[in-house]
A and B are shown apart, each in its own frame.
Chain A
């Protein structure tokens, strides 16, 4: 049976930085308690109440990074609509309510000695915590980050702390020109691929991983209501039928998916 360790609590924004056009990095600390008590795993997410009733339901956001020493959680947010915009506009010191930590994370036991972590756009978010954790386990991952242009390459300096960083931009203003799927780093051999980004990108990477017989996990972003497996709104078709992305995912091995 599942072990219960979810909580609801207020977090204070210690720093809110616009790191690119339409992207903010929020650093938050819990008003009460220690994050280290929650055993947060890379790939898990939070459900956030958006400020000033910008939205009716909470919004799911990946845990980008956990700094246990500073008792700090990072969220990387793209302004997609009312809720995410309201979050990005919050001043330092503001308090937001979160349910955390939700879902199953990435399977680190499968990483092997040379995993490749591929992120597109805001999908790079959960890969930072994953890279840091792999590093703590003595593994040096390779990162492949995709963005529209140089100014949208997110958190590259942070990723560089944990492994080599490769970049693809659509306009070629940084790294290789094109999509991550054509980056030459994909010609190298990797023990495992972890991927998060837009759906077409994840599907293309899954196809490449299958061709190369490299195990591959992807993190899905299905629209959610509850985030805790109660409403069955967020389902994905899998080999085991419709399952809740919020509870059985958001990370899935591509062998579980029907794509």
Chain B
């Protein structure tokens, strides 16, 4: 069997397969379908300093080969995560990565500070790109200055592996990636959802309570592959690729484009066992192509 182990900064993953934040709950929701220990790791729900109720229903509408969502970071806050959820996750030996969000730089810093002492949280993913929060999120992720200032603050508060998750809703994602690399990020992950909109023409109103929302699923994949390719050429830190990965083939596509690891999001809704199927596919692929170490194929293109 080929080596599937990959490293993201100081974080060692038993394989490149991670789950995308907001699509995999806290992992537990999928424990009936798969052995969570077979994943490289799981990235839990977006976590904020204070509890958040998120946006009003309706929050979701299916679109061609994808979906729009407007969940808006509903979560019970970082304290609840630390006291109630984290202890339950310790039974798994896959890496637990916490995705964090905030409305101010101080929020980000505080959440990162609170997570830093937790032994088993060896990495955080900083979401500077959620398009659903009225103030904050979007602004940080769409300018090089905003992205850099969040990265700088979190870097000071969190000594372990720092992944910054980038928004695709920008003119040059490579510029943003360079800016966060310069502030000490260990890795960048991309893409978050693409801003979109859909209208119910019979009722003559938008499907989502927020009018616009984030597009995910197979529909975004070519855009995501292109961006991963561009960013991996622009920075030296490892890139984590995601956006519309539906199966093992798609995961390999991202790795060829330059991703060291990948995240699976919307596909979990359609096939709750897809993540472990991707791990199996990677083994298979390596065997078929005479690859001894999956790192060999990263960025071949």
Interface positions of A (Cβ within 8 A of B): 1-2, 4-8, 49, 55-58, 99, 222-237, 241-242, 247
Given A58-B270, A229-B29, also A1-B88 (CB < 8 A) = yes
A228 and B30 form a contact (CB under 8 A) = yes
Within 8 Å by CB of B32, from A6, A55, A241, lies A6
CB distance from A24 to the nearest CB of B (A): 22
The 0/1 profile, CB within 8 Å of A marked 1, for residues 268-280 of chain B is: 1111110000000
Alpha-carbon distance between A235 and B32 when the two chains are bound, in angstroms: 22
- Check if B32 sits within 8 Å of A56, measured CB to CB: no
A231 to B62, CA, bound (A): 14
Known pairs A226-B269, A228-B29, A232-B54; A56 contacts B217 (CB<8 A): yes
Q: Shortest Cβ distance from B19 into chain A, in angstroms?
A: 9
Total A-B contacts with CB atoms under 8 angstroms apart: 93
Given A4-B31, A232-B71, also A223-B60 (CB < 8 A): yes
A225-B269, A231-B71 provided; 10 other pairs, C-beta below 8 A?
A1-B88, A56-B218, A57-B270, A99-B33, A225-B60, A226-B23, A228-B272, A231-B69, A234-B59, A235-B54
B31 to chain A, nearest CB (A): 6
Bound CA span A248–B74, Å: 16
- Is B24 part of the contact surface with A, judged by Cβ < 8 Å? yes
Q: A90 to B217, alpha carbons, bound, how many Å?
A: 26
- Chain A CB count within 10 A is highest, among B58, B64, B272, for B272
Decide yes or no: A232 and B270 within 8 Å by CB, A1-B88, A56-B217, A56-B218 being known contacts: no
* Binding site secondary structure of chain B: loop
A248 to chain B, nearest CB (A): 13
CB distance from B217 to the nearest CB of A (A): 6
A6 to chain B, nearest CB (A): 4
Q: Does the CB pair B57–A236 fall under 8 Å? A: yes
CB-CB under 8 A from A55, the residues of chain B are 62
Q: How far is the CB of B85 from chain A (nearest CB, A)?
A: 11
> Is the beta-carbon distance between B66 and A56 smaller than 8 angstroms?
yes
A218 to B: closest C-beta gap in Å: 16
B7 CB-CB contact with A under 8 Å: no
Are A241 and B62 neighbours in the complex by a CB distance under 8 Å? Answer: no
Given A8-B272, A58-B269, A223-B60, A233 contacting B217 (CB threshold 8 A): no
Rounded to whole angstroms, the CA-CA distance of A229 and B33 in the bound complex is 14
In the complex the two chains form, what is the Cα distance from A242 to B67 in whole Å?
21
Among A223, A224, A232, A241, the one with the most B-chain Cβ atoms within 10 Å of its Cβ is: A232
For A4, the chain B residues whose CB sits under 8 A away are 31-32
8 A-B contacts (beta carbon < 8 Å): A49-B270, A57-B62, A225-B60, A225-B69, A230-B269, A231-B25, A232-B71, A233-B59
Q: Which residue of A lies closest to B45 (CB)?
A: A232
Which of A228, A234, A237, A241 has its CB near the most chain B CB atoms (within 10 A)? A228
Complex alpha-carbon distance, A58 and B54, angstroms: 24
Contact call A57/B32, Cβ cutoff below 8 A: no
Q: How far is the CB of B143 from chain A (nearest CB, A)?
A: 28
In the complex, chain A residues whose CB is within 8 Å of the CB of B22? 231-232
A242 close to B74 (CB less than 8 A): yes
Determine if B135 is an interface residue (Cβ-Cβ < 8 Å): no
Q: B266's closest neighbor in chain A, by CB?
A: A225
* Contacts known (A1-B88, A233-B60); A225 close to B32, Cβ less than 8 A: no
With a 10 A CB-CB cut-off, give which of A222, A225, A237, A242 has the most chain B CB atoms.
A225
CB-CB under 8 A from A230, the residues of chain B are: 23-25, 29-30, 268-269
Which residues 77-113 of B sit at the A interface, judged by CB distance below 8 A?
88
With A and B bound together, what is the CA distance between A29 and B59 in angstroms? Answer: 34
Whether, in the assembled complex, B171 has its beta carbon less than 8 Å from a beta carbon of chain A, the answer is no
CB B83 to nearest CB in A, in angstroms, measures 15
Nearest CB on A from B107, distance (A): 20
- How far does the Cβ of B291 sit from chain A's closest Cβ, in whole Å? 30
Q: Which chain A residues lie closer than 8 Å to B269 at the CB level?
A: 57-58, 225-227, 230-231
Partner of B53, one of A7, A226, A241: A241
Instruction: List B contacts of A247 (CB < 8 A).
Output: 29
Q: Which residues of A contact B25 (CB under 8 A)?
A: 228-231
Interface: B297 (CB within 8 A): no
In the bound complex, how far is the Cα of B66 from the Cα of A81, in angstroms?
Answer: 17
